Amino acid sequence: MAVPKRKVSKQSGNSRFANWKLSSPNLVKCSQCHELINSHTVCPSCGYYNGKAVVVMKTKEEK
């Protein structure tokens, strides 16, 4: 059975878990519409990826 050899202070116990932080997403500009999107994804507003049309987006008039 695992038993600690000596007491762990509150400071060293809490500092072990102090580095769990959320990171902000890496946003890049779309090459077509210049909106901020996640990198390596199809732009949700224009449907382009890497300068090529991947998804045909419907406009409000077509709906």
Q: What is the pTM of this model?
A: 0.56
Signed CA dihedral, 29, 31, 35, 41: sign only:
negative
Instruction: Give the whole-angstrom CA distance, residue 44 versus residue 30.
Output: 10
How far CA 34 is from CA of 23, 27, 29, 59, in Å, comes to 23, 11, 5, 18
CA gyration radius, the chain: 24
Q: What is the pLDDT of residue 16?
A: 87
Q: Are the beta carbons of 11 and 17 closer than 8 angstroms?
A: no
Q: What is the pLDDT of residue 63?
A: 59
10-residue mean pLDDT profile of the chain (63 residues): values are 90 88 90 92 92 84 63
